[in-house]
């Protein structure tokens, strides 16, 4: 029984937290005049805009990602390829508000592009705030993500198929139509669904670049209702709407996603036959250059603005260091909690799957870890708000709530990253451990930890970095006394102290990346593969 305990306890706590928050939402709901709110034209506008921007964002991200991914897959060995792939991993980790700052610095009214057009004597354009800004930011975040998710499709194509296509005399277009596209089509629903979901629930981007009520998503509307209109009823209704829509979207995504069937063979790899033509080389170069520029420019803009900003003034401000310390604490606490909960659930799921032959129960545990994707930070936050405000001062509890919300948000990453190695180590070594009598602490020390250490380091680093950049929960609960770095930066941007915001951005992104690297190397061990 003890072997089922860790996951059982984790699941119970998770159910208590999420269930409590959602229960409070549902319990409050009947007291509100749902009919009247539903008839509200503004609400309908918010919902349709949310879906519209997410659809456009996903279509643009995926549409641009396909040629970039194909170009990177075709050109396996050019100088800088590794660096580009690493660059494409950055948008997942750097805080949203930092990237938004970089995007404003490039595309904003006094951004790089407008300064270039002004220098050429052309009229400058004011276009960023509203739908264009939201789309640019979403493509910045999701194009590289989609590229990285799609690249394994090419790795899975066996060398024999390239030899075969060479022998059959297939051209580039035919290869795309007959080999690459059918394989891509299998993963596209999953990738597109994920990107759509991320854009659908996007908060910081829409908050900062939406520019007004005309371009507001459900997630931002919840925040507005709670923090500015003090309309708890509207916030609860919006949270329930968000919960319903996300649930429906995830259910839809699950039914569409299919696994890729090809497996790579140990055979010597073989170059594909369409590498030589000049047209293809030029097209690939353009795709790679465009994708890289899109991701690199805002990051460089942040670095440049930060380095040339009033460093002394900002660093001399004790509020910055208070905020940095709070961010660090939130990141570590949320990361450790995520890892502990996720790991506990995986151990129990493994026990059920491999040793008690209860795969469905095991699935149920893992799914419930990932099911938290249904709740967004603002939905969860609103739930806690409703649940706790009658009995406590939620703003005094701000940092605790931010840690809890971020720990829950990190769970799906832990399950995804840590799940496969945790399962593999049992499949490979259970019998040997049983026959040698290795168990308990010895088993953890000698067998489990060496096998999962790298994944555990990555999972913890990822959760900590994401929590460092959180602007959802903290925007909801944060006050003057509980400001974290992202909130401080947002406040400075909102009051047009762009130079101070720039230096804050540099500190924030530095903290985030440093935390990521130190945890990944430190916990994951030096042997990186």
Work out the widest C-alpha separation in the chain, in whole angstroms.
Answer: 79
Q: According to the binding rule CB under 8 A, does residue 361 interact with another protein? A: no
Q: Binding another protein by CB under 8 A: which of 158, 190, 329, 421?
A: 158
Contact 456/343 with Cβ under 8 angstroms? yes
Compute the distance between CA of residue 158 and CA of residue 146 in angstroms, rounded to an integer: 22
Q: Binding another protein by CB under 8 A: which of 81, 115, 171, 355?
A: 171
Judged by beta carbon, residue 158 or residue 421, the one nearer another protein is: 158
Ranges within 180-209 binding another protein (CB under 8 A): 182-183
Task: Give the binding range for another protein (CB under 8 A) out of 125-133, 260-268, 361-369, 521-529.
Answer: 260-268
Ranges within 271-330 binding another protein (CB under 8 A): 273
Judged by beta carbon, residue 80 or residue 182, the one nearer another protein is: 182
Q: Could you tell me the CA-to-CA distances from 262 to 164, 167, 259, 274, 445 in Å, in that order?
A: 16, 20, 9, 21, 36
Q: According to the binding rule CB under 8 A, does residue 164 interact with another protein? A: yes
Q: According to the binding rule CB under 8 A, does residue 163 interact with another protein? A: yes
Q: Could you tell me the CA-to-CA distances from 404 to 75, 295, 330, 414 in Å, in that order?
A: 44, 31, 9, 15
Judged by beta carbon, residue 171 or residue 445, the one nearer another protein is: 171
**Nearest distance from C-beta of residue 257 to another protein, angstroms:** 16
Judged by beta carbon, residue 272 or residue 492, the one nearer another protein is: 272
Q: Binding another protein by CB under 8 A: which of 262, 275, 282, 285?
A: 262
Compute the distance between CA of residue 91 and CA of residue 401 in angstroms, rounded to an integer: 25
Compute the distance between CA of residue 194 and CA of residue 58 in angstroms, rounded to an integer: 9
Q: According to the binding rule CB under 8 A, does residue 170 interact with another protein? A: yes
Burial 172-189 (b: 16+ CB within 10 A, else e): beebbeebbeebbeebbb
Judged by beta carbon, residue 174 or residue 428, the one nearer another protein is: 174
Compute the distance between CA of residue 154 and CA of residue 74 in angstroms, rounded to an integer: 9
Q: According to the binding rule CB under 8 A, does residue 161 interact with another protein? A: yes
Q: According to the binding rule CB under 8 A, does residue 156 interact with another protein? A: no
Q: According to the binding rule CB under 8 A, does residue 174 interact with another protein? A: yes
- Number of Cβ within 10 Å of residue 478's Cβ equals 25
Q: According to the binding rule CB under 8 A, does residue 261 interact with another protein? A: yes
Q: What is the DSSP letter of 21?
A: H
Burial 323-358 (b: 16+ CB within 10 A, else e): bbebbbebbbbbbbbbbebbbbbbbbbbbbbeeeee
Q: Binding another protein by CB under 8 A: which of 53, 57, 165, 349?
A: 165
**Binding-site ranges for another protein (CB under 8 A):** 158, 160-161, 163-171, 173-174, 177-179, 182-183, 261-262, 265, 268, 270, 273
């Amino acid at each position: 029984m003890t072997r089922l305990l860790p996951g059982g306890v984790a699941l119970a706590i998770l159910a208590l937290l999420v269930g409590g928050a959602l229960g409070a939402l549902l319990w409050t709901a009947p007291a509100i005049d749902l009919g009247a709110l539903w008839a509200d034209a503004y609400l309908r506008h918010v919902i349709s805009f949310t879906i519209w921007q997410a659809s456009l964002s996903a279509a643009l991200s995926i549409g641009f990602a396909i040629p970039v991914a194909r170009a990177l897959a075709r050109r396996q060995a050019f100088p800088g390829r590794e660096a580009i792939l690493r660059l494409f991993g950055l948008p997942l980790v750097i805080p949203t508000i930092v990237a938004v700052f970089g995007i404003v610095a490039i595309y904003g009214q006094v951004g790089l592009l407008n300064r270039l057009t002004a220098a050429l004597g052309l009229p400058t354009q004011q276009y960023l705030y509203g739908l264009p800004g939201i789309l640019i930011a979403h493509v910045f975040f999701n194009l590289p993500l989609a590229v990285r998710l799609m690249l394994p499709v090419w790795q899975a194509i066996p060398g024999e198929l390239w030899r075969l296509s060479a022998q059959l005399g297939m051209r580039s277009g035919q290869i795309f139509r007959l080999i690459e596209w059918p394989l891509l089509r299998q993963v596209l629903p999953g990738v597109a669904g994920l990107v759509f979901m991320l854009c659908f629930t996007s908060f910081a981007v829409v908050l900062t670049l939406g520019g007004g009520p005309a371009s507001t998503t459900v997630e931002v509307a919840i925040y507005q209702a709670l923090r500015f209109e003090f309309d708890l009823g509207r916030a609860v209704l919006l949270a329930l709407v968000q919960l319903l829509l996300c649930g429906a979207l995830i259910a839809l995504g699950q039914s569409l996603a299919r696994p890729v069937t090809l497996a790579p063979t140990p055979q010597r790899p073989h170059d594909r036959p369409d590498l030589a033509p000049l047209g293809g080389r030029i097209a690939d170069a353009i795709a790679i250059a465009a994708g890289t520029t899109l991701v690199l420019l805002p990051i460089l803009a942040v670095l440049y603005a930060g380095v040339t900003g009033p460093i002394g003034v900002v660093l001399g401000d004790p509020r910055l260091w208070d905020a940095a310390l709070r961010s660090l604490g939130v990141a570590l606490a949320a990361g450790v909690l995520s890892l502990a909960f996720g790991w506990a659930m995986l151990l129990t799921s493994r026990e059920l799957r491999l040793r008690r032959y209860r795969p469905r129960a095991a699935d149920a545990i893992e799914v419930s870890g990932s099911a938290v994707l249904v709740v967004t930070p603002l939905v969860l936050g609103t739930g806690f708000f409703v649940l706790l405000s009658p009995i406590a001062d939620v703003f005094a509890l701000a940092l605790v709530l931010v840690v809890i919300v971020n720990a829950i948000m990190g769970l799906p990453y832990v399950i995804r990253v840590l799940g496969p190695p945790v399962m593999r180590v049992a499949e490979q070594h259970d019998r040997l451990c049983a026959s040698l009598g290795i168990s308990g602490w010895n088993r953890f020390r000698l067998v489990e930890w060496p096998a999962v250490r790298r994944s555990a380091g990555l999972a913890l680093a990822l959760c900590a970095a994401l929590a460092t950049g959180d602007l959802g929960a903290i925007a909801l609960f944060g006050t003057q006394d509980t400001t974290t770095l992202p909130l401080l930066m947002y406040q400075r941007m909102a009051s047009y102290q762009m130079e101070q915001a720039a230096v804050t951005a540099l500190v924030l992104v530095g903290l985030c990346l440093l935390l990521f690297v130190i945890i990944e190397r430190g916990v994951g061990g030096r042997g990186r593969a």
